[in-house]
Amino acid sequence: MENLHDKRKIYDRSELLESQIKENPMEQFRDWFVEAEQNSQISEANAMAISTLEKDGCPRTRMVLLKSYTWEGFVFFTNYDSRKGKAIESNHKACLHFFWPSLERQIIIKANLEKLAENLSDGYFHSRPKGSQLGAVVSPQSEVIPNREYLEEKLKNLEKEFENKEIPRPMNWGGYLAKPYEMEFWQGRPNRLHDRIIYELQEDFDWEISRLAP
């Protein structure tokens, strides 16, 4: 077994002080996200982990792609019948996580999830490349399948079926809006004294801002 005790990195790229932050966490997210998009070392700034709670009480985490964000929250798309979709159906809370190592930053978001309106899911689905549309139809996401060939054969058949036709969005595929009620912004600092600023949504819909010890 490899000993990793000596694998250490000094975090000294930036700081996060109360005098620098925005009053609304979505504004703060926008500023950090723009920096991440402009950083040449980050290939997918919109890659985010999403953790949901499964029936056995254990959280399950996977990577998805953020497709948009608004004042209300964060939008991503998935198969509603997948393990992710079923977990969200039974428990509408989830934790989102962005990690940008080259900026020494991460954002941890607790959110309530709700399905997007069908017309919004339709619009996004038909904006995708045809191959991605077919992939959403072909895959019974999270179900056990016999082999890879099963998917490939199914894809070939659907390519023929929809060769010159519009592909309808599967009713079990669409978007979610994750509406945050807690957002933590983490900035790496020297000596492991990291900056942690947390926003917590109050009953009057204002955000309370606090600093957490690292």
**pLDDT computed for residue 186 by the predictor:** 98
Instruction: Let me know if residue 2 belongs to a domain.
Output: no
Report long-range pairs for 120-123 (Cβ below 8 Å, ≥24 apart): 120/175, 121/77, 121/169, 121/173, 121/174, 121/175, 122/169
Residue of 16, 187, 53 lying closest to 108 (CA atoms): 187
Instruction: Let me know if residue 177 belongs to a domain.
Output: yes
Q: Are 171 and 163 in contact (CB under 8 A)?
A: no
Q: Are 74 and 177 in contact (CB under 8 A)?
A: yes
Residue of 78, 72, 170, 71 lying closest to 112 (CA atoms): 72
Is 3 a residue whose pLDDT tops 90? no
What is the domain-level CATH number for residue 77? 2.30.110.10
Instruction: Let me know if residue 160 belongs to a domain.
Output: no
List pLDDT tens digits, range 114-143.
999 999 999 999 999 999 999 998 988 888
Q: What angle do CA 82, 84, 85 make, to 5 degrees?
A: 65
Residues in CB range of 93: below 8 A, 6 or more apart: 53, 110, 111, 112, 113
> Could you say which of 60, 62, 192, 211 is catalytic?
192
Q: Is 105 a catalytic residue?
A: no
List pLDDT tens digits, range 139-185.
888 888 899 998 899 999 989 998 888 999 999 999 999 999 999 99
Instruction: Let me know if residue 137 belongs to a domain.
Output: no
Provide, for the chain, the percentages of residues in helix, strand and coil under a 3-state DSSP scheme, each rounded to the nearest 5: 30, 30, 40
Instruction: Let me know if residue 138 belongs to a domain.
Output: no
**pLDDT computed for residue 140 by the predictor:** 83
Going 35 to 41 to 47 to 52, the CA torsion angle's sign is negative
Query: Could you tell me the pTM of the whole model?
Result: 0.92
Total domain count, the chain: 1
* Average pLDDT of span 195-211: 98
Structural domain span for residue 121 = 25-128+172-211
Instruction: Let me know if residue 155 belongs to a domain.
Output: no
3-state secondary structure string across 18-63: CCCCCCCHHHHHHHHHHHHHHCCCCCCCCEEEEEEECCCCCEEEEE
Which tokens sit at 45?
A: 């700034």
Q: Confidence class of residue 96 from pLDDT cuts 50, 70 and 90?
A: very high
Which tokens sit at 148?
A: 């890879």
**Helix 148-161 vs helix 130-138: crossing angle, to nearest 10:** 120
**pLDDT computed for residue 7 by the predictor:** 82
* Average pLDDT of span 25-43: 98
Instruction: Let me know if residue 136 belongs to a domain.
Output: no
Q: Strand pairing partners for 48? A: 64
**pLDDT computed for residue 60 by the predictor:** 97
Mean pLDDT in the chain?
Answer: 95
Instruction: Let me know if residue 8 belongs to a domain.
Output: no
* Average pLDDT of span 194-202: 98
